[in-house]
Amino acid sequence: MIVQTLSSFLGGVLTPLALLFCSAGVLSVLGPKRVFLPFRSHGEKSGTEAAAGLRTSPFAALTVALAGTLGVGNITGVASALFVGGPGAIFWMWVGALAVIPVKYAEVWLAVRYRRRGRNGYYGGSMYVIRDGLGAKLPGRAGIVLGGIFALLCALNALVTGCLVQANAAVSALGPPEPRDRFAAGAALSLLVLGSVLFGTKKIERITSAVIPSLSVLYIAACLAAILPRLGLMPGVLRLIVTSAFSPRAAGGAALGFSAREALRFGVMRGIFSNEAGCGTSPTAHASADTPSASRQASLGTAEVVFDTLILCSLTAFVLLLADAEAGLLPRHVEADAAPVVFEAFRILAGKAFSFLVRLSVPLFAYSSVIAQFYYGSVAVGYLTKSRAARPAFAVLTALFSLLGAAAAPGAMWTAADLLLGLMTVFNCSVLFVLRKTPGSAEIPRSHPRPASRR
């Protein structure tokens, strides 16, 4: 009860306020032209200088970030938001996505600014921004300690949202109803993940660069096959989304219990789960890009939000609401398993073939997300300890939590995910607000004098 109350307060009050104030603060310093007009260098040197010695391309870094967001958040995350927040949750998901674009720009810019160079290339993330950026404004070792707290949250988040939620969706997509069969499917996923992550960062980049673009195209095609024959119903769907966002009780009456507050809470939180803007995880991937232009990499980060939430999440919502209009498909409680509902929606609207393609894509999306989140968690663990055993130990934990996710209860799992994401977002947005003037400098340093780690 305490955890649920805290999660509700974070998701319904603190997190939206933190994102709003941080976004307004960043926008007031940088201006809309810099944030919303992509791929402007703003006085920085061109990225072509680094091309010859490229280790991690900006695109590869983007695909790792997208792997951590695309898939389960766009599919089961949107479905769960509709289950408990109603159609109005989609409206607030859109509003939240637009509002966090300045936040995304700032957190990626700062991650590139405060990254470090190791043996295998650049690495960094929000914990290093806190340590070196915020720490310069604080006395003593406060920055190091606060960075450690955020790194711990990041590692826990990688295990919960990166393993439990992803594995649960993957196993549900595979369809085994019996606990023993779900355990076997979870074990297979765990072994596949363990074998992938132990080969290192470059293996993760190669996997995500190959898998994410093709899966995205496949999923968009399936959504269009479901939506296009029913374009005449779309005005009604859009009207339902907007009116439900502001109604004291959303469309359907009091019996369904959709309130405007629930729509706001679950729309914002599932949006963060989907695009990771503001929570401080995806900057870890962007920090690895071998580019001298923080602004260009930050623009890729904002494009990530647009593609992830405003396009893919919207397509999923349209499919589910159209299927609900035709067949009364959507359940009205958080304990419902989202994945089977999504597959049934595609079967109703587009046929068994497209439903099968979506069912096949979810485990692949989930697999990519798990290994991307492992990378985020391993960088966080590397901040906390320099032990050589830390990364293999975290890989084992990742596999173990992927196995546990096969049997996790959806309600408790999403509550834990919302709580962690809320804590990280409030923490990270507070740091970004303090450092909001830093991205206003025209050029990032060409040298990185901070000591390299053993990574």
State the average pLDDT over residues 200-214.
Answer: 69
User: What are the tens digits of pLDDT across the range 26-44?
Assistant: 888 888 877 877 555 544 5
Nearest residue to 100 via CA among 15, 12, 7, 11 = 15
How far is residue 304's CA from residue 63's CA, in Å, rounded to a whole number? 9
Q: Which residue has the higher pLDDT, 270 or 359?
A: 359
DSSP-assigned letters across all residues of 50-94: GSTT-SS-HHHHHHHHHHTTTTHIIIIIHHHHHHHH-THHHHHHH
| pLDDT surpassing 90 at residue 183 | no
Looking at residue 53, its pLDDT comes to 46
The answer to the question of residue 266 being in a domain is yes
* CATH label of the domain that carries residue 218: 1.20.1740.10
The answer to the question of residue 354 being in a domain is yes
Quick one: pLDDT band at residue 442, thresholds 50, 70, 90?
very low
| pLDDT surpassing 80 at residue 173 | no
Containing structural domain, residue 172: 56-439
Q: Which residue has the higher pLDDT, 5 or 29?
A: 29
| pLDDT surpassing 70 at residue 445 | no
**Across the chain, what does the average pLDDT equal?**
80
250 contacts 106 by C-beta, under 8 angstroms:
no
What are the residues whose beta carbons fall under 8 Å from the beta carbon of 383, sequence distance 6 or more?
125, 127, 128, 131, 147, 148, 151
The answer to the question of residue 454 being in a domain is no
| pLDDT surpassing 70 at residue 138 | yes
| pLDDT surpassing 50 at residue 250 | no
User: What are the tens digits of pLDDT across the range 252-264?
Assistant: 433 344 556 666 6
How far is residue 342's CA from residue 330's CA, in Å, rounded to a whole number? 9
Quick one: pLDDT band at residue 71, thresholds 50, 70, 90?
low
Q: Which residue has the higher pLDDT, 238 or 58?
A: 238
The answer to the question of residue 38 being in a domain is no
State the average pLDDT over residues 179-202.
Answer: 78
| pLDDT surpassing 80 at residue 156 | yes
Looking at the 3D structure of the chain, how many domains does it have? 1
The answer to the question of residue 116 being in a domain is yes
| pLDDT surpassing 60 at residue 191 | yes
| pLDDT surpassing 80 at residue 11 | no
Quick one: pLDDT band at residue 46, thresholds 50, 70, 90?
very low
The answer to the question of residue 132 being in a domain is yes
155 contacts 373 by C-beta, under 8 angstroms:
no
341 contacts 330 by C-beta, under 8 angstroms:
yes
pLDDT > 90 in the chain, percent: 28
User: What are the tens digits of pLDDT across the range 83-122?
Assistant: 878 888 899 889 888 888 999 999 999 999 999 888 778 8
Looking at residue 167, its pLDDT comes to 85
State the average pLDDT over residues 62-85.
Answer: 75
Phi/psi-derived region of residue 178, left when phi > 0, alpha when psi is between -120 and 50, beta in every other case: beta
Looking at residue 121, its pLDDT comes to 81
Least confident of 165-174, 230-239, 249-258, 324-333: 249-258
State the average pLDDT over residues 203-224.
Answer: 80
State the average pLDDT over residues 399-428.
Answer: 85
Quick one: pLDDT band at residue 125, thresholds 50, 70, 90?
very high
What are the residues whose beta carbons fall under 8 Å from the beta carbon of 439, sequence distance 6 or more?
26, 29, 30, 105, 106, 109, 110, 113, 294, 295, 298
The answer to the question of residue 341 being in a domain is yes
Looking at residue 174, its pLDDT comes to 75
| pLDDT surpassing 70 at residue 342 | yes
Quick one: pLDDT band at residue 48, thresholds 50, 70, 90?
very low
